[in-house]
């Protein structure tokens, strides 16, 4: 539990925006638009704008745990991205 708390603290204190602008590898960003833990507009949308050439996939109605609820779609998108 302590590690989780420290992780949340780090994410709330550090600003990674300049680092994201320096990413030069193909990047796939997947986010659910119904994430109640990490809101899309403040995270996924912003990250997609900051990472040069990033591919953004937004899953309609998907929660924070979309890997469980949208597993088939996630697997298909990951394979497609890796093959491109």
pLDDT at residue 31, as a whole number:
97
Going from the C-alpha of 63 to that of each of 5, 22, 42, the distances in angstroms are 21, 29, 15
pLDDT at residue 2, as a whole number:
85
- Higher pLDDT, residue 2 or 47: 47
Hey, where are the domains in the chain? 17-83
Tens digits of residue pLDDT in 32-82: 999 998 899 989 999 999 999 999 999 999 999 999 999 999 999 999 999
pLDDT band per the 50, 70, 90 thresholds, residue 27: very high
Greatest pairwise CA separation for the chain in angstroms: 39
């Amino acid at each position: 539990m302590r590690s989780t708390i420290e992780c949340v603290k780090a994410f709330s204190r550090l600003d990674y925006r300049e680092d994201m602008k320096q990413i030069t590898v193909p990047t796939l960003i997947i986010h659910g638009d119904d994430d109640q833990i990490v809101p899309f507009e403040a995270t996924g949308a912003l990250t997609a704008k900051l990472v040069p050439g990033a591919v953004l996939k937004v899953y309609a109605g998907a929660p924070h745990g979309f890997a469980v609820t949208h597993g088939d779609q996630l697997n298909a998108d990951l394979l497609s991205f890796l093959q491109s």
